[in-house]
């Protein structure tokens, strides 16, 4: 199950993400927003990030104008490794090397074709583990500072 959410600046892409996930036969849960009317992105990013952090959802996709705000919010949650991406390579490496569990991107910065490719790669790339495991473990460890 994929948690998805956006603010008003990412609303149109979030709706397209839903259609794309349906085409891929991937289940999702939509945490809003439900219109392009102005809202506060933390409200929706927190809700979707809680679902991933708690295990209710396996991964997440968050969209705002830049992808940056929602990624900052998501990374405040226990166990979340949200990556703000603008390229397919970044999305792939976020999974492969950082075991990212939430993909964030900006409707104002990323063309839809790239967004589709990033989603596909994000959902189909596995964590390499190995030398990366130690590094990822330090992200959530106070002793890793």
Catalytic residue annotation: 64, 97
Contact 122, 91 (CB under 8 A): yes
The burial class, CB within 10 Å (0-12 / 13-18 / 19+), for 110 is buried
Among candidates 105, 35, 119, which has minimal Cα distance to 65?
A: 105
Q: In degrees, to the nearest 5, what angle opens at C-alpha 126 toward C-alphas 122 and 82?
A: 50
Strand-strand pairing, 2-6 and 59-64: parallel
Stated length of the chain: 145
Give CA–CA dist 11/7, Å, rounded: 6
């Amino acid at each position: 199950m994929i948690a998805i959410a956006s603010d008003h600046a990412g609303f149109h892409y979030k709706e397209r993400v839903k259609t794309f996930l349906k085409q891929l036969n991937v289940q999702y849960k939509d945490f809003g927003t439900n219109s392009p009317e102005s809202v506060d992105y933390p409200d929706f990013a927190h809700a979707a990030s809680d679902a991933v952090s708690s295990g209710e959802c396996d991964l997440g996709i968050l969209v705002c104008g830049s992808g940056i705000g929602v990624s900052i919010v998501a990374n405040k949650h226990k166990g979340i490794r949200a990556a703000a991406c603008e390229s397919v390579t970044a999305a792939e490496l976020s999974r492969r090397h950082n075991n990212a569990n939430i993909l964030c991107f900006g409707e104002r910065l990323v063309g839809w074709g790239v967004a589709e490719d990033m989603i596909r790669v994000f959902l189909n790339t596995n964590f390499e583990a190995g030398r990366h495991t130690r590094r990822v473990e330090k992200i959530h460890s106070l002793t890793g500072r």
